[in-house]
Structure 1
Amino acid sequence: MPAAVPESPVSRHWTVGLHLVLTFVTGLVDAVSFLALGQVFVANMTGNITFLGLSLHPDAHIQPVTPLGALGGFVVGALVAGQAASRLDRTPRWWLPTAFGVESAVIGLVAALTATGVLPVGDEAEVTIIVLAVALGVQNGTVHHLGVHNLTTTVLTLSLAGFVTDSSSRRRAAWPQRRLGSIATMLAGAAAGALLLRVSVSLVLAVAAACTLIVAACFALALGGRAARARVPDSHG
């Protein structure tokens, strides 16, 4: 029997909002990886699988090690997220803040290390790519386990197809605002990342880390408040 999907500790509107923040983070980080780390994605694995196939053509000028590194890092991050979810979802006060806190810490660490030149950017940035892919794997694995309908923070192809198909049919579109919100937020994140890259890679990653930390803090505060209310003795007892 499949495990029950854990309930979000915040309201439905807050849950949607926090997912959109994570979608914005996806746009930011993928802007860095594609524009500054050698035309690869660290969050959108569909593109990497396509790049891996295209690398067989000599005119593609794609080294297979780059998308393979991103895929490997993403898988590791998703596995970590799955293990954390299975072990900690019975104590959700720790699960969601821990997962997104770890993601924020990893992205922030990469921001610091690229700023100081410890981690490279450019065409020989495989280590940087792998580490960022691990962080986004954690994000996607956690979001998948939380299981909010029509919100994935990464895959927008089905969101766009579903919105257009449902809008052109007699069937009422399911959560069209979520689909449109995801598309608009991803676009905004990628655009912001592209603009901030004119300043530095580290700045974009620092903004992404800060946004993810806000998500972790919101879940932690909500769960902490719920726990505090549960400890308040009944005044009528």
Structure 2
Amino acid sequence: MKPRAGRALTSIMIVLTLTTGMIEAVSFLALGPVFTAMQTGNLLLLAFALTGAAGLSPAAAGVSCAGFVVGAVLGSLLESSADSHGRRWFPRALLGEGVLLGLAALIAWRTGVDGPGGTVTGHHFAVIALLAAAMGARNITTLRVRVPDVPTTLSTRALTAFLGGLPHVADPRIGSGARHEGRRFASIAAMFAGGVLGAWLLREGVSPAAVLAVPCALVLFMGATFWMVPERRTSEPG
């Protein structure tokens, strides 16, 4: 059973995009520098680190890549299994992702992972792996949901489509109009806002664990809410 398309689903995906910005703020500023959701950037950081670029950790980037792969594979298996039995896989995916984010926040709290400028340790690698696994599962969910213009873990395509849909520039093959452009702008704005919020909280001395607790709470809340709403109102065959 796939989630029913509409404003509610689009809103969920926009909120997920905001959480990506917060998660990447913690990943880059407090754990690495490393990315856990945007693996294009992470692969480049790994490439740079392997050449000996100063300030980069090939171990951190490698752990993130590995965690992402594991999360994507497990997420695909979980969602496909639920779907094959005619069950709603979307709330399960959100709850599973929320659990991984919660574990990352818990480890960061219990082990005292510091804010920007701290020394990278094994505890950092554990948090990186869990965040990357959560984001790997998130990307599988995003591909299955297929909400146009809201990829949740990157903004390049949304920004390109937004520019390509502007008046006097619009390419009919991209799609234009208020609905398309509104989703694209919301996606870009949510990513930016999440990054600003996460970075600001870290700068104000809020612990990485507390910052990660916000995305965790949001994802778990959305998953639980979706689960409790009657199936006929939230899902459809396919």
Report deviation, 1:93: 4.5
TM-score (structure 2 length as normaliser): 0.84
What is the CA-CA distance between 1:170 and the residue it aligns to?
4.2
Matched to 2:25, the amino acid is A
1:91 to partner: Cα distance: 4.9
Deviation at 1:112, TM superposition (A): 2.0
Moved more, 106-115 or 179-188: 106-115
User: Where does residue 111 of structure 1 map in the other structure?
Assistant: 105
What is the TM-score normalised by the length of structure 1? 0.85
Q: Read off the aligned partner of 2:226 and give its amino acid letter.
A: F
Structure 2 Cα separation of the partners of residues 27 and 183 of structure 1:
10
Query: Is the 2:3–2:90 Cα contact (8 Å) retained in structure 1?
Result: no
CA distance in 1, matches of 2:160, 2:212: 30
1:157 paired residue number:
156
Distance in 2 of aligned mates of 1:52 and 1:92: 40
Q: Deviations over 1:132-151 (max 9, x none)?
A: 11111111111111222222
Instruction: Name the SS of the counterpart of 2:165 in structure 1.
Output: helix
Report the CA distance shift for 1:225/1:63 in structure 2 as closer, same or farther (over 3 A): same
The corresponding residue for 1:169 is: 169
The match for 1:209 is: 216
Residue 133 (structure 2) aligns with: 134
CA contact (8 A) 2:103 2:130 kept: no
Matched residue of 1:89: which SS? helix
- Does the alignment pair 1:220 with 2:227? yes
CA deviations on 1:29-84 (whole Å, 9 max, x unpaired) are 11111010011011111110111121233343322221111011011111111112
CA distance in 2, matches of 1:181, 1:91: 34
Deviation per CA, 1:152-200, whole angstroms, max 9, x where unpaired? Answer: 1012111111111221514352611111101100111111111222211
Distance 1:59 1:169, change over 3 A: same
Distance 2:114 2:87 in 1: 36
CA RMSD of aligned residues (A): 2.2
Q: Mapping of 1:86-97 within 5 angstroms?
A: 86-91=80-85, 93-97=87-91
- C-alpha change, 1:148 and 1:189, in structure 2 (3 Å) is same
Matches within 5 A, 1:5-154: 7-9=2-4, 12-91=6-85, 93-117=87-111, 122=118, 123-124=120-121, 125-154=124-153
**Alignment identity in percent?**
34
* Counterpart residue number, 1:196: 201
8 Å contact kept, 2:22–2:194: yes
Indicate the residue corresponding to 1:231 in structure 2: none
Q: Tell me by how many angstroms 1:92 deviates.
A: 5.9
- Cα distance in structure 2, aligned partners of 1:223 and 1:79: 29
Partner secondary structure for residue 3 of structure 2:
coil
Correspondence for 1:181: 186
The alignment partner of 1:55 has SS state of: helix
CA distance in 2, matches of 1:119, 1:169: 47
Paired residues, number: 221
User: C-alpha distance in 1, partners of 2:74/2:230?
Assistant: 22
**Do the aligned partners of residues 223 and 143 (structure 1) sit closer, same or farther apart at CA in structure 2, a change above 3 Å counting?**
farther
Provide closer, same or farther for how the CA distance between residues 166 and 40 of structure 1 changes in structure 2, counting only shifts above 3 A. Answer: same
> 5+ residue gaps in structure 2?
none
Query: Structure 1 residues 170, 134: closer, same or farther in 2, change over 3 A?
Result: closer
